[in-house]
């Protein structure tokens, strides 16, 4: 809301119906929901508390302009004050220029101070730096933002000198050009349904993962592979080419999804309007495929790969290439802002990918290059001279280039770690090993009791015949039902251990019952014992090798 003071100052205060209130409320509600979840589930991971604090703190921070006693903006005869200046008044004599512009949907008022102004120190830059101090108008209601910007501009024109007035007129013309440019894009693409669809698809798949029982914060690698994660062996050797797409809608937890969707939303708003919904989908899915295909030569050789990062980087690459290609047709401020902010984001993200483990930077680079190449070939909506036929030809050309690149990368990739066999072996071990360990523990317990004199040899033989031999036979039957797709040394060793111990018990029972010749039984027992000793050495050697890696 705005009010006028007796000295003629106009005061604009934050409104609960301002542009950031809904986002603040959503962040705070999400933080409270996660905190309630963590309190309700005593076994909740510590990371859940971190997410609750993060989103709750973000919500409180976004609510700060509404709760502050200082107005968002106060424009008077002496100068400008408000939350940006922390109560200090910026005199008109210290202000050399005023800018009103929109950055990714955020309306800003930027005040350019003269060099040496004493207000440079107490007013740290919120957005921008140097001599500029920027203030977001989003806490105000939409109608009040225009009045606030107009009040600053009018006051600046009244109190600034003739040179400043001429500069303001030039800025007004630039603002008008920016507004006209943005409006033309909105008119050409009034509905961004393609962006909404891909975001909904990614979120929907994550929700489906939750319904299926996957961990919402850190799903198991085997579960992601079962859902369609990318792996060089699965794609190249097994022919699961569909994984190149399914991997791009799977995510390794809530934070992975949230970061990807935020970056996609920020860049996608621009790309969808620059190119239109159809070309946006071509850029998105073409970059997703290219990122997955390049990953087959690097990360997917050793680990499974998931995430929409390749597609997101493709959208970013398309935005940067499109802005640079048509920089003469786009307002200068828009070109500078987009190239600077998005280019810096891409550079930082790629640098982190090279220095931090667990990041599939090959998918990022593949998507980035594919998106930039398609944007260079496609015809943007800002090119109003291109015909519909020319646009279609360029779309087919971009599709063909990406298809050839993806096909070449997939055809030249080598199969890496056999994740399918690895996960099958892990499943086998989870199913069979506990039963074998239980049978072995029971046998060892009775053997120790016999050695301690708590059980006679006849009682031990009877326990073997009645309990332990049936238990080991049941384990053997369970192992026989397991048929892995690839050779499993671990399963073979477990089978050898089970059959050897079972045969030794059978020989002991046969000797005691008189059904076997003692000499022959002892000779056979020696052979089996030697085989078990060799098996033990192999198991110890394998465990030692695994520890060294």
Instruction: Respond yes or no: is residue 251 known to be catalytic.
Output: no
Collapse the DSSP code of 504 into the 3-class scheme (helix H, G, I; strand E, B; otherwise coil) and give the result.
helix
Q: What is the DSSP string of 77-102?
A: SSEEESTTTTT--EEGGGEEEEEEEE
DSSP H or E stretch at residue 107? strand 106-113
Tell me which of 100, 101, 364, 419 is the catalytic residue: 364
CA pair distance 431, 535, nearest whole angstrom: 21
The residues that bridge with 91 in the sheet, in sequence order, are 79
Of 202, 145, 133, 150, residue with least CA distance to 20: 145
- CB burial readout 241-252, b (16+ within 10 A) else e: eebbebbbbbbb
Which residue carries 């107490």 as its tokens? Answer: 122
Active-site entry in 9, 81, 309, 488: 309
Q: Measuring CA to CA, which residue among 446, 447, 437, 448 is closest to residue 472? A: 437
Q: Which residues are 134's β-sheet partners?
A: 110
Concerning whether 295 is annotated as a catalytic residue, the answer is: no
DSSP 340-396: HHHHHHHHHHHHHHHHSTT--HHHHHHHHHHHHHHHHHS--TT-TT--HHHHHHHHH
Q: 499 vs 136, 447, 506, 519, 522, CA distance in Å?
A: 74, 18, 10, 21, 17
Distance CA 126, CA 145 (A): 18
CB-hemisphere CA count at 13 Å for 314? 29
Residues with a known catalytic role: 309, 364
């Amino acid at each position: 809301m705005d009010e006028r003071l007796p000295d003629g100052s106009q005061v604009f205060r934050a409104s609960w119906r301002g542009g950031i209130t809904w986002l603040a409320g959503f962040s705070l509600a999400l933080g409270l929901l996660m905190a309630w979840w963590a309190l309700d589930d005593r076994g909740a991971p510590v990371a859940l508390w971190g997410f609750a604090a993060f989103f709750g703190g973000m919500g409180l921070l976004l609510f700060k302009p509404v709760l502050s006693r200082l107005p968002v903006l106060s424009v008077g005869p002496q100068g400008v004050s408000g939350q940006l200046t922390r109560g200090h008044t910026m005199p008109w004599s210290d202000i050399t220029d005023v800018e009103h512009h929109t950055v990714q949907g955020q309306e800003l008022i930027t005040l350019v101070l003269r060099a040496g102004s004493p207000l440079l120190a107490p007013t740290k830059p919120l957005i921008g730096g140097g001599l500029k101090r920027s203030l977001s108008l989003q806490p105000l209601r939409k109608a009040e933002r225009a009045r606030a910007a107009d009040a600053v501009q009018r006051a600046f024109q009244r109190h600034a000198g003739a040179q400043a007035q001429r500069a303001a007129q030039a800025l007004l013309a630039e603002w008008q050009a920016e507004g006209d440019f943005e409006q033309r894009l909105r008119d050409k693409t009034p509905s961004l349904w393609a962006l909404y669809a891909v975001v909904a698809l990614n979120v929907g798949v994550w929700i489906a993962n939750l319904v299926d029982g996957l961990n919402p914060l850190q799903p198991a690698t085997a579960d992601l592979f079962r859902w369609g994660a990318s792996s060089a062996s699965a794609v190249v050797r097994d022919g699961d080419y569909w994984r190149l797409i399914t991997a791009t809608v799977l995510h390794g937890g809530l934070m992975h999804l949230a970061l990807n969707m935020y970056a996609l939303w920020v860049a996608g708003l621009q790309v969808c309007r620059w190119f239109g919904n159809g070309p946006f989908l071509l850029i998105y899915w073409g970059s997703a495929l290219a990122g997955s295909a390049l990953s087959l030569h690097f990360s997917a050789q050793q680990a499974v790969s998931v995430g929409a990062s390749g597609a997101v980087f493709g959208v970013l690459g398309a935005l940067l290439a499109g802005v640079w290609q048509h920089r003469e047709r786009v307002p200068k401020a828009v070109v500078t802002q987009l190239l600077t902010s998005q280019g810096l984001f891409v550079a930082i993200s790629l640098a982190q990918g090279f220095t931090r483990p667990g990041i599939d930077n090959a998918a990022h680079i593949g998507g980035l290059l594919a998106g930039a190449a398609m944007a260079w070939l496609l015809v943007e909506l800002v090119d109003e001279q291109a015909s519909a036929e020319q646009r279609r030809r360029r779309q087919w050309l971009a599709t063909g280039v990406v298809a050839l690149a993806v096909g070449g990368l997939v055809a030249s990739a080598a199969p890496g770690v056999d994740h399918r066999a690895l996960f099958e072996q892990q499943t086998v071990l989870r199913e069979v090993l506990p039963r074998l360990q239980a049978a072995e523990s029971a046998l060892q317990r009775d053997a120790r009791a016999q050695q301690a004199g708590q059980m006679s040899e006849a009682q031990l033989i009877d326990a073997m015949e009645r309990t332990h031999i049936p238990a080991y036979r049941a384990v053997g039957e369970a192992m026989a039902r397991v048929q892995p797709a690839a050779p499993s040394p671990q399963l073979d060793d477990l089978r050898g251990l089970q059959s050897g111990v079972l045969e030794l018990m059978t020989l002991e029972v046969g000797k005691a019952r008189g059904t076997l010749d003692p000499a022959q039984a002892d000779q056979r027992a020696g052979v089996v014992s030697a085989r078990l000793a060799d098996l033990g050495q192999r198991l110890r050697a394998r465990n030692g090798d695994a520890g060294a890696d």
